[in-house]
Chain A
Amino acid sequence: MTAPALARPYRKVRPGLWAAWAFLALVCCAALFPALFAGAPDQVDATAVLRGPGAGHPFGTDQLGRDILARVVYGARASLFVGLGSTLLAGAVGSAWGLLAALGGRAVGEAAMRLADILLAFPGILTALLVVAVLGPGTRNATLAITIALAPGFARIVRVQALVVRDSAYVRAAINLGLRPWRILRRHIVPNVLAPLLILATLNVGTAIIAGASLSFLGLGPRPPAPEWGSMLAQARNYLDVSWTLALFPGAAITLTVMSATAAGRALQARYERREP
Chain B
Amino acid sequence: MSMLLAICNLGRILTREGREMAEIKLRGLRKSYGGHEVIRGVDIDIADGEFCVFVGPSGCGKSTLLRMVAGLEDITDGTLEIGGQRVNEAQPRDRGVAMVFQNYAIFPHMSVRENMAFGLTIAHASKAEKAAKVQRAAEILQMEHLLDRRPSQLSGGQRQRVAIGRAITRNPGVFLFDEPLSNLDAALRMDMRMEIGKLHKQLGTTMIYVTHDQVEAMTLADKIIVLRDGQVMQAGAPMELYQNPVNRFVAGFLGAPSMNFLDVEIVAADNETAKVARPSMDPIVVPTRGRRFVPGARAVLGLRPQHISACAPDQGVLHGQVTLTERLGSETVVDLVMQDGKNVIAAFGEDKEFERGQRVDLIFAPEQAHLFEEES
Are A and B physically bound partners? no
A positions within 8 Å CB-CB of B: none
